[in-house]
Amino acid sequence: MNNIDLTNRHAIVTGGAQGIGLAVARRFLSSGASVTLWDRDGELLTSAVRELGGLGTIDALTTDVTDAESVGAAAASTAGEFGRIDILVANAGISGPNLKCWEYPVQVWKQIVDVDLTGVFLCCRAVVPFMLQRKYGRIVNVASIAGKEGNPNASAYSAAKAGVIALTKSLGKELADQNIAVNCITPAAARTRIFEQITQEHIDYMLSKIPRGRFLELDEISAMVAWLVSEENSFTTGAVFDLSGGRATY
């Protein structure tokens, strides 16, 4: 494993109690950062802190990324506890059911967009002012290859993740002169609990589209994110980093 120096940096990882978020938090701790996990599942947060506690300074806050007040309070609490917020990884997300667009329940569509897109906006909105105070920050938003290509039978998820890509580009331009880098990643499918929300047919479809012929490993995601949030990433912002195993067409 390459050594990425995150010493004396404090990171927030949303959806950090499991899956991609947990893997990213582990990599950050191993790289010298302190980490606050935000997740809406308090029991999973307790388990995650227990699992990661031996690696470094870890904190957790039960946070609903769809609730502006909850996110704002979590950001203020984190900054108050650690004196700084250097890094945000906006990872929390859900996939929703696999249905045709014209069969999609309106309330379910709204829920997915609320978590996967509005949740990213609310987290960035709450954290950026603390980064501006120090004129330093690194933000990585977790989008998806679905946001580039549009997966069939996943219109809400695909549309929300496409929105995350556009949000990243816009915010990256807004903060370009403040030493705050804002980038996103577009991973292909990785084996996490999100697979429990989708059909086997859809899982098989996603695998069939990956030229490398396998699913993405969590450590491969955390390796890319660790560099993106490091001080070495001093020029790139508003960019999209592919993790699709060759699937991406742009």
**Closest to 85 measured CA to CA, from 12, 135, 169:** 12
234 backbone dihedrals φ, ψ, rounded to 5°: -100, -5
Please name every residue paired with 61 in a beta bridge, in sequence order, or none if there are none.
Answer: 38
**What stretches in the chain show pLDDT beneath 50?**
none
Active-site amino acid positions: 157
Q: Which residue shows structure tokens 């990785």?
A: 190
Q: Assign 3-class secondary structure to the chain.
A: CCCCCCCCCEEEEECCCCHHHHHHHHHHHHCCCEEEEEECCHHHHHHHHHHHHHHCCEEEEECCCCCHHHHHHHHHHHHHHHCCCCEEEECCCCCCCCECHHHCCHHHHHHHHHHHHHHHHHHHHHHHHHHHHHCCEEEEEECCHHHHHCCCCEHHHHHHHHHHHHHHHHHHHHCHHHCEEEEEEEECCECCHHHHHCCHHHHHHHHHCCCCCCCECHHHHHHHHHHHCCCCCCCCCCCEEEECCCCCCC
Termini Cα distance of the chain: 28
Residue 149, pLDDT score? 92
Instruction: Name 90's bridge partners.
Output: 141
Tens-place pLDDT, residues 37-88: 999 999 999 999 999 999 999 999 999 999 999 999 999 999 999 999 999 9
Q: How far apart are CA 12 and CA 79, in angstroms?
A: 10
Q: Are 197 and 165 in contact (CB under 8 A)?
A: no
The structure tokens listed for 132 are 């501006």
pTM of this structure: 0.94
CA atoms within 13 A on the CB side of 109: 12
Can you read off the two tokens belonging to residue 25? 């938090």
Q: How many CA atoms lie within 13 A of 209 on its CB side?
A: 20
Q: CA-CA distance, 26 to 17, in Å (whole number)? A: 11
10-243 fold = Rossmann fold (3.40.50)
CA atoms within 13 A on the CB side of 53: 8
